[in-house]
Amino acid sequence: MKKLLVLLLLATFAQAQTKDEQQIRSLYDAALTEGKAYDWLNHLSNQIGGRLSGSVQAEQAVKYTKEELEKLGLDRVWLQPVMVPKWVRGTPEYAFIETKPGLTNNVPVCALGGSVATPAGGIKAGVVEVKGIEELEQLGRKNIEGKIVFFNRPMEATQINTFKAYGGCVDQRYSGAMEAAKFGAAAVIVRSMNLRLDDLPHTGSMSYGDLPVSERIPAAAISTNGAEFLSTTLKLQPDIKFYLKQNCKQLEDVQSYNVIGEVRGTEEPEKIMVVGGHLDSWDLGDGSHDDGAGCVQSMEVLRLFKETGYKPKKTLRVVLFMNEENGLRGGTEYAAQAAKKKEKHVFALESDAGGFSPRGFNFDAPQGFMEIVESWKPLLEPYLLHQFVSGGGGADIGPLRGEGVILAGLMPDSQRYFDHHHAENDTFEHVNKRELELGAAAMASLVYLYDNYGDEPTAVDNGK
């Protein structure tokens, strides 16, 4: 009798695994042969373009994605109002290095998001180069006052995980102007967050903290080639002058929206799973990798379930968050409304690392859940998903963090991501159709596995 029971259990597990294998295979087949993500991205990128919060393009993206979600026949599609900052770049920035009066070399720069403008005639001043914020204290006001501080700490090339390299130096972009202003600096120039040498400046958010408006100084990024040239020139001729002119402006907040679509769960509708990306982008490129790719992949998850006939047991939402880049207002508002309505979120998956080949997922989850994830590896590894890392999630889903909520992030190959991140070349032609589709299928597969086994530890053996 005992032997018969064991055989029955093994047969049940084998049958379940076959069912899981078939469902995941069908998701990949549908994504790779009749996917919609690439077409959606083409429209967002080439018909709308860069979608900076508060811009006309951002509102066009809201309208377009809502209409496309409605075409999928979801149970519900709606817009969630959110107030967002409106920062405008103005006319293109201009900068040069002056080695002697009348002898200049132009260098590529762009204003950092949230920066103030220079005076109408620009700023021309001496330059002091530092490798990080901590050096400001060592130099002191007497060496900084009236000068332009040049933050020139590069991303660490020896880091295999390029996001760790980014994290190791992005503080100079975000806080550099705030800290340099305390020592009387006239402006700051920051080396672009880019591992390769090129002529493209990379923008990104910066903050003045609680610094009074009257004390705020202009902040701009310089291309990596420009940073190398400026640094070399300073070594040869420390008394050079740097000229910067930018015309950016912070306007009053405006209303925008998160775009949300929902398929109601068949068995546990009170439990909510979220897939999402951020609909806004910077304005230099068209935001294809950051984060148009994540948005269309998230939309595709719901379409793939519809296409393959899978009806989720838990409620599944796609959320296209507004204002991740310069405020995180969309993610914060979504979490606030969820708490207000006492909604029970159990799982959230974000794609915000580019549309490159998927390699796996990171998780903000307890060890017990990571053991469940380990049991899913045999189902995912055939699709070259092999990285399952504890620690991560995503910026927009971060505000949902709480007891019992599993946060996850899609991990694409990251080696080329920072070639494009926040730069003019974050454009549609740099996204590979097949890689984008593989990412969408990977996300759908993880959602499927969580929906069936994510909160049932007794079902761990199913994936073995």
- SS3 string, 333-356, reads HHHHHHHHCCCEEEEEEECCCCCC
Q: What is the pLDDT of residue 68?
A: 98
Q: What is the pLDDT of residue 168?
A: 96
**In the predicted structure, residue 393 carries a pLDDT above the cut 70:** yes
What's the pTM value of the predicted model, to 2 decimals? 0.93
Q: What is the pLDDT of residue 331?
A: 98
Q: What is the pLDDT of residue 392?
A: 87
Is there a contact between 398 and 336 (Cβ–Cβ < 8 Å)? no
137 is catalytic: no
Looking at the chain, the number of H-run helices and the number of E-run strands are: 13, 16
**In the predicted structure, residue 310 carries a pLDDT above the cut 70:** yes
Is there a contact between 42 and 218 (Cβ–Cβ < 8 Å)? no
Distances (CA, A) of 180 to 3, 211, 274: 74, 11, 40
Q: What is the pLDDT of residue 277?
A: 98
Is there a contact between 236 and 282 (Cβ–Cβ < 8 Å)? no
**In the predicted structure, residue 366 carries a pLDDT above the cut 60:** yes
Q: What is the pLDDT of residue 12?
A: 52
Distances (CA, A) of 186 to 132, 218, 242, 376, 435: 17, 8, 11, 55, 45
Return the sign of the alpha-carbon dihedral for residues 193, 194, 198, 201.
negative
List, for residues 147-202, the tens digit of each pLDDT value: 999 999 999 999 999 999 999 999 999 999 999 999 999 999 999 999 999 999 99
Q: What is the pLDDT of residue 5?
A: 46
Q: What is the pLDDT of residue 6?
A: 42
**In the predicted structure, residue 8 carries a pLDDT above the cut 70:** no
Dist. CA 220–CA 123, nearest whole Å: 12
Q: What is the pLDDT of residue 455?
A: 80
Using pLDDT thresholds of 50, 70 and 90, give the confidence band for residue 460: very low
**In the predicted structure, residue 85 carries a pLDDT above the cut 70:** yes
What mean pLDDT is reported for the chain? 95
Using pLDDT thresholds of 50, 70 and 90, give the confidence band for residue 131: very high
The H or E element spanning position 219 is strand 219-222
Q: What is the pLDDT of residue 403?
A: 84
Stretch 439-461: mean pLDDT:
83
List, for residues 432-445, the tens digit of each pLDDT value: 999 999 999 999 99
Distances (CA, A) of 209 to 124, 153, 182, 216: 25, 22, 12, 10
Stretch 299-317: mean pLDDT:
98
Q: What is the pLDDT of residue 378?
A: 96
Q: State percent of the chain over pLDDT 70.
A: 95
Dist. CA 111–CA 129, nearest whole Å: 19
Dist. CA 263–CA 275, nearest whole Å: 12
**Strands, sheet with 314-321, edge to edge from the N-terminal-most edge strand:** 76-88, 249-263, 314-321, 268-278, 344-350, 406-412, 358-364, 387-390
List, for residues 398-427, the tens digit of each pLDDT value: 999 998 899 999 999 999 999 999 999 999
Instruction: To the nearest 10°, report the CA torsion of 335, 337, 341, 342.
Output: 20
3-state secondary structure of 389: strand
The CA-based angle 185-115-231, given to 5 degrees, is 50
Is there a contact between 184 and 145 (Cβ–Cβ < 8 Å)? yes
Is there a contact between 276 and 322 (Cβ–Cβ < 8 Å)? no
Using pLDDT thresholds of 50, 70 and 90, give the confidence band for residue 456: low
Say which of 93, 179, 324, 437 is annotated catalytic.
324
Q: What is the pLDDT of residue 104?
A: 97
Q: State percent of the chain over pLDDT 90.
A: 93
Stretch 108-115: mean pLDDT:
98
